[in-house]
Amino acid sequence: MVGTSVRLKDGRSAFVRRAVPGDAESITELVNIVGSERRWTLRERATWTLDQERATIAAADGTRSVFLVAEVDGRVAGILYLARGQWPKNEHVAELSMSCLPAARGVGLGTALLEAAVQWARSVGVRKLSLEVFSSNEPAVRLYRKLGFLEEGRLRREFEVEGKFVDGVWMARWLEADTSGND
């Protein structure tokens, strides 16, 4: 849930909250660390300036898009960005991307971020969450399956990752309507 602490499997706590412009440096550092691994994400380094990052965070005001961060030990250890379609015909769909620092993986941080994203999506009336993942990214595919995402289709040999052609797998989860009355 956004704005709450979650106990991780290794005993540490994670605090999931909306990003603020002051997180731009930490987010850029995280994007660079994950990008330098070269096998999980399309971007191999942050391509935006800090000002552009701040502007993106500020624009993600929780209506059409949201930028979540998960703090562990006072440091931004995970990020998730979610933006809904900009047209009447696709505004019920939101596309997401996410990453966690290597040292914070496998302990439930990705699950916490994704659950918070689902909660936000429902609260603003988004009905479908979608994403693209490399077919070689087993940890991510498993996380998405665990959270109810199903494969919708694939772009064959769309990416070359570590010298091998891999598919771009589109996955999605249809959300039931929010009947809790929360906004």
Ligand X SMILES: CC(C)(COP(=O)(O)OP(=O)(O)OC[C@H]1O[C@@H](n2cnc3c(N)ncnc32)[C@H](O)[C@@H]1OP(=O)(O)O)[C@@H](O)C(=O)NCCC(=O)NCCS
The secondary structure of residue 104, as a DSSP letter, is G
Is 144 one of the annotated active-site residues of the chain? yes
Q: Which is nearer to ligand X, 46 or 140 (CB)?
A: 140
Site for ligand X contains 116 (CB under 6 A)? no
Q: Going along the chain, which residue ranges are E strands?
A: 4-7, 13-18, 65-72, 75-84, 93-100, 128-134, 150-161, 164-174
Beta bridge partners of 94: 84, 129
Site for ligand X contains 31 (CB under 6 A)? no
Q: In the bound complex, what is the minimum distance in angstroms from residue 144's beta carbon to ligand X? A: 8
CB 149 within 8 A of CB 116: no
How far is the C-alpha of 169 from the C-alpha of 154, rounded, in Å? 4
Site for ligand X contains 169 (CB under 6 A)? no
How far is the C-alpha of 48 from the C-alpha of 100, rounded, in Å? 19
Site for ligand X contains 119 (CB under 6 A)? no
Site for ligand X contains 16 (CB under 6 A)? no
Site for ligand X contains 10 (CB under 6 A)? no
How far is the C-alpha of 129 from the C-alpha of 127, rounded, in Å? 7
Pick one of 45, 142, 157, 164: the residue that binds ligand X (CB under 6 A): 142
Site for ligand X contains 30 (CB under 6 A)? no
CB 112 within 8 A of CB 5: no
Q: In the bound complex, what is the minimum distance in angstroms from residue 181's beta carbon to ligand X? A: 28
Site for ligand X contains 106 (CB under 6 A)? yes
Residue nearest to ligand X (CB): 110
Query: What residue ranges bind ligand X (CB under 6 A)?
Result: 34, 40-41, 98-100, 105-111, 133, 137-140, 142-143, 146
Which residues form the catalytic set?
144
